[in-house]
């Protein structure tokens, strides 16, 4: 009964009107504060599709549908693409001058990452996927490989909505592409430190465009960073870059990879296979190549030329000048002959881009199309990047980039390097036919990179130096055994030599390497099973130097250098300098006398100094040099062989005669007086000091110390130091005055010797690292400086002019400060 009464009272209370309750409350407490209205029910994180992708959305359908709603960007990801392998490629599209010390160009790749999009609860994740560690899924160890190589999460997105049919998931990607995400940034950690980057200025940074194609999505970002020490325009304290982010769907069906071999040059990718039967994980390196399959495998196996199922097609950028198109097409299709060596007919084809009427959907950014892009830029360069599948090495797409001003570099070098022997090069208005041939070869070279071939710097050493003066030989063989060498012009041929080809061309190595990498080996189902055949092809050619591959990364092998030609650097550079001296005496005649201004003379004179320096550098590499020839244990000989002592002595004598002598012909007073008011001696001091420092490097001296234990007959570190001292200070042995050039050179020598006395090789910065302080270097350098000091003490008392006397006294003091710094 009591319980009923309580419930009745509560019910009665609830029946009292709220207004009456409020009025009675106000009568009781006039100062009461009104209660706030209850909070609205929070909106769900995952909203209805129409509330996210509104009617105002601008949409672009492709791999994912890309939506722009006001200032936000959304991906609508078909669920069928979740957990599918994709490639995220980051490239610099535009950049400030001198970024990365001038070694980074527009089009340079800054990162390449294998990714998958995964759903986790109410989020979509970008997971980085590694193929550097693998094991077959059928093997138990694959579980451990996955556990010990857990894939990091690059970014996490809240699910914004689902499509109306629930087949797709919508996420907001504005923050991912619109902020400074380090893994897709164009600025490395080293650059950020060097340029004192404080952070991204979001008020000056934005997503430029976002486009979706059937197999890829392309995003252009414009980013500005606050930086205290930018690489250029320091007053702005800003680094502005434009990034191109490509996201590419990788093939569902994997191409059979081909194992790399260091004896044949290829771009490669590596994996660690934990499924090996060996007692350790097995490192495997695969070449990067296009997937070419014969239409008729039976005919192909018989040795007949067969067209591929899917040829490599390059389209010309619609912006390409009409007069250049035929040369670009020729450069692309020059690779048809090497592909025929590999058994394929019409394997690579050049086409004009379709017009809007022919194909309104064609775009150079579509990954289905490889394009020779023609860029209106003052950059003097061309590049041949490609995108490859990190799982197999299959090249998926490539855009070769040609920058408008690049031909000017070739015109200038054509004049400087061949003008003495080649009358048609003695002009600023090189013929269209000659410029076209140069462009054709540059395009073919860059397409070679896009086919998988790195530089073969050994190819220009395959021919005898004297052969470059033989017209019949040069017309047949060009100037290197491979187009992939940096051997651009024949600078050896002399005035009066007849029928000379001065411009590079395709060589026998290009046919050999194309066959080795692209020929399909019938009835083989694994990369390992191909190796015996691939080995046999190499052994058949191993005795012939024209099939040798020389790595670009070699800084010690005189047979694998950039920009050189011929098998004897001393002889080749002697011919080159002789030609350059002729050009120097006529440079005004071919430039300013014709144009009536000094701009071209100024430009070409400065580039001529660079040519001189290159010729000298080719000789320097012989000193302390080591030949490198990639071999397997079943081949005769060793991989590394020290350059013979006689050749190193020949190189040293050449340097004393040509590089360290006073270059009165190169420092042309008439030219200098018309292009600059000062800096005449400094120009050459800088060039000579560069080569003194190069010869007297820790790495070179270290290799000579190693050579000492290889045999008593080898050129030694003490030989190098003694020859340098005697040659550079030869005036001190005689009552001879020293010119201003030589005084500058001699001071550069003392400064470098001081460097050798106090500096060290920084660990990790040099592959030739060793402990300098505990090596012979300090003792050898100290001995040489004491010997020099004694020589100069006598020399200063001889019959010399005042400048020379003061110079010797100053040199003695400098030496004393090095030996006794306190």
Residue 282 falls inside a structural domain: no
- What percent of the chain clears pLDDT 70, i.e. is strictly above it? 90
Say if residue 188 is exposed, middle or buried (CB neighbours under 10 Å; 0-12, 13-18, 19+): middle
Average pLDDT over residues 624-648: 95
The two structure tokens encoding residue 687: 């060039």
The pLDDT of residue 3 = 40
- Whether 206 and 319 map to the same domain: the answer is no
- Whether 213 and 112 map to the same domain: the answer is yes
The pLDDT of residue 446 = 94
- Whether 183 and 301 map to the same domain: the answer is no
Stated pTM of the model:
0.87
- Whether 705 and 804 map to the same domain: the answer is yes
C-beta separation of 481 from 506 below 8 A: no
Tell me the pLDDT tens digit for each residue of 8-58.
443 444 334 444 434 444 444 555 556 666 666 666 789 999 999 999 999
Residues paired with residue 172 on neighbouring β-strands, in sequence order: 74
Confidence of residue 319 (pLDDT cuts 50, 70, 90): confident
Residue 539 falls inside a structural domain: no
- Whether 385 and 319 map to the same domain: the answer is yes
Average pLDDT over residues 239-259: 94
Strands 312-316 and 382-383: unpaired
The pLDDT of residue 6 = 39
Residue 186 falls inside a structural domain: yes
Confidence of residue 766 (pLDDT cuts 50, 70, 90): confident
Residue-number span of the structural domain to which 94 is assigned: 55-249
More confident site: 45 or 782:
782
- Whether 723 and 814 map to the same domain: the answer is yes
* Residue 560 predicted with pLDDT over 80: yes
Residue 225 falls inside a structural domain: yes
The pLDDT of residue 4 = 39
- Whether 313 and 400 map to the same domain: the answer is yes
- Whether 93 and 213 map to the same domain: the answer is yes
Confidence of residue 711 (pLDDT cuts 50, 70, 90): confident
Confidence of residue 670 (pLDDT cuts 50, 70, 90): confident
Average pLDDT over residues 766-787: 93
- Whether 380 and 296 map to the same domain: the answer is yes
Confidence of residue 475 (pLDDT cuts 50, 70, 90): very high
Name which of 110-114, 272-276, 339-343 the model is least confident about.
Answer: 272-276
Is residue 756 classed as helix, strand or coil in its secondary structure? helix
C-beta separation of 98 from 232 below 8 A: yes
Residue of 118, 530, 93 whose CA lies nearest to 289: 530
Average pLDDT over residues 68-93: 95
Residue 129 falls inside a structural domain: yes
Helix, strand, coil % in the chain, rounded to nearest 5: 40, 20, 40
Average pLDDT over residues 108-128: 93
Residue 13 falls inside a structural domain: no
The pLDDT of residue 712 = 79
Average pLDDT over residues 455-480: 96
Residue with the two structure tokens 């070179």: 700
- Whether 74 and 171 map to the same domain: the answer is yes
Domain count, the chain: 3
Name which of 65-69, 116-120, 377-381, 514-518 the model is least confident about.
Answer: 377-381
* Residue 137 predicted with pLDDT over 70: no
Average pLDDT over residues 454-483: 96
The pLDDT of residue 61 = 95
Average pLDDT over residues 644-668: 93
Average pLDDT over residues 497-515: 97
Residue 142 falls inside a structural domain: yes
Which helix (H) or strand (E) is 222 found in, with range? strand 216-227
The pLDDT of residue 41 = 61
C-beta separation of 56 from 70 below 8 A: yes
- What percent of the chain clears pLDDT 90, i.e. is strictly above it? 75
- Whether 298 and 243 map to the same domain: the answer is no
């Amino acid at each position: 009964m009591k319980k009923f009464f309580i419930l009745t009272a509560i019910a009665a209370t609830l029946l009292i009107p709220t207004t009456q309750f409020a009025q009675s409350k106000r009568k009781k407490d006039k100062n009461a504060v009104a209660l706030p209205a209850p909070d609205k029910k929070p909106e769900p994180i995952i909203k209805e599709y129409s509330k996210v992708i509104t009617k105002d959305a601008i949409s672009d359908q492709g791999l994912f549908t890309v939506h722009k709603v006001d200032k936000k960007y959304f991906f609508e990801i078909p669920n069928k693409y979740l957990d599918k392998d994709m490639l995220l490629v980051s490239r610099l599209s535009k950049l400030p001058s001198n970024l990365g010390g001038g070694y980074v160009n527009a089009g340079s790749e800054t990162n390449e990452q294998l990714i998958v999009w995964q759903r986790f609860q109410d989020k979509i994740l970008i997971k980085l996927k590694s193929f550097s560690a693998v094991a077959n899924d059928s093997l138990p160890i694959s579980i451990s490989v996955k556990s010990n190589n857990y894939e990091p999460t690059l970014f996490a997105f809240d699910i914004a909505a689902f499509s109306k049919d629930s087949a797709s998931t919508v996420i907001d990607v504005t923050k991912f592409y619109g902020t400074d995400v380090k893994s897709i940034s164009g600025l490395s950690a080293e650059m950020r430190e060097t340029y004192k980057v404080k952070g991204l200025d979001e008020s000056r940074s934005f997503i430029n465009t976002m486009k979706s194609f059937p197999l890829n999505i392309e995003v252009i970002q414009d980013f500005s960073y606050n930086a205290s020490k930018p690489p250029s325009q320091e007053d702005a304290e800003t680094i502005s870059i434009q990034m191109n982010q490509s996201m590419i769907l990788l093939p569902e069906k994997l191409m059979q990879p081909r194992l790399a071999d260091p004896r044949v040059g290829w771009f490669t990718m590596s994996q660690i296979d934990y499924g090996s039967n060996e007692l350790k994980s097995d490192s495997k390196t695969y070449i990067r190549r296009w997937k070419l399959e014969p239409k008729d495998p039976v005919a192909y196996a018989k040795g007949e030329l067969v067209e591929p199922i899917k040829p490599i097609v390059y389209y010309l950028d619609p912006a390409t000048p009409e007069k250049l198109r035929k040369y670009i097409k020729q450069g692309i299709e020059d690779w048809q002959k090497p592909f025929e060596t590999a058994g394929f007919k019409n394997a690579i084809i050049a086409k004009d881009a379709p017009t809007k009427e022919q194909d309104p959907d064609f775009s150079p950014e579509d990954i289905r199309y490889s394009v020779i892009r023609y860029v209106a830029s003052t950059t003097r360069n061309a590049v041949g990047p490609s995108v490859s599948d990190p799982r197999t090495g299959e090249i998926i797409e490539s855009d070769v980039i040609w920058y408008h001003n690049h031909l000017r570099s070739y015109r200038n070098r054509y004049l400087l390097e061949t003008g003495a022997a080649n009358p048609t090069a003695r002009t600023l208005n090189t013929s269209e036919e000659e410029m076209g041939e140069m462009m054709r070869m540059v395009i073919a070279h860059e397409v070679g990179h896009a086919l998988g071939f790195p530089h073969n710097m050994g190819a220009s050493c395959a021919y005898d130096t004297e052969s470059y003066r033989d017209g019949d030989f040069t017309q047949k063989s060009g100037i290197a055994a491979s187009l992939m060498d940096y051997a651009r012009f024949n600078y050896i041929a002399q005035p009066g030599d007849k029928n000379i080809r001065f411009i590079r061309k395709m060589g026998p190595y290009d046919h050999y390497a194309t066959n080795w990498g692209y020929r399909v080996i019938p009835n083989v189902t694994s990369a390992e099973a191909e190796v015996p055949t691939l080995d046999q092809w190499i052994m058949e050619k191993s005795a012939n130097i024209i099939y040798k591959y020389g790595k670009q990364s070699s800084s010690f092998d005189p047979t694998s250098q950039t920009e050189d030609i011929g098998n004897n650097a001393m002889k080749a550079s002697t011919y080159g300098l002789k030609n350059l001296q002729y050009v120097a005496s006529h440079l005004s005649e071919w430039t300013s006398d014709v144009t009536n201004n000094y701009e071209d003379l100024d430009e070409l004179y400065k580039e001529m100094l660079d040519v001189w320096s290159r010729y000298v550098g080719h000789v320097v590499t012989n000193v302390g040099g080591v030949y490198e020839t990639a071999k397997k244990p079943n081949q005769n000989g060793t991989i590394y062989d020290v350059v013979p002592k006689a050749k190193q002595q020949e190189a040293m004598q050449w340097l004393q005669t040509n590089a360290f002598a006073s270059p009165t012909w190169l420092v042309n007073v008439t030219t200098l007086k018309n292009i600059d008011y000062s800096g005449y001696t400094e120009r050459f001091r800088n060039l000579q000091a560069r080569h003194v420092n190069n010869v007297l490097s820790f790495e070179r001296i270290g290799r000579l110390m190693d050579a000492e234990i290889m045999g008593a007959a080898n050129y030694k570190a003490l030989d190098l130091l003694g020859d340098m001292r005697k040659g550079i200070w030869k005036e001190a042995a005689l009552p001879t005055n020293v010119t201003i050039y030589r005084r500058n050179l001699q001071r550069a020598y003392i400064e470098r010797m001081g460097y050798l006395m106090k500096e060290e090789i920084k660990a990790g910065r040099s592959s030739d690292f060793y402990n300098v302080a505990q090596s012979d270097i300090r003792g050898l350098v100290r001995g040489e400086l004491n010997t020099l000091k004694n020589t100069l003490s006598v020399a200063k008392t001889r019959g010399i002019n005042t400048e020379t006397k003061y110079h010797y006294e100053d040199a003695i003091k400098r030496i004393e400060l090095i030996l006794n710094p306190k």
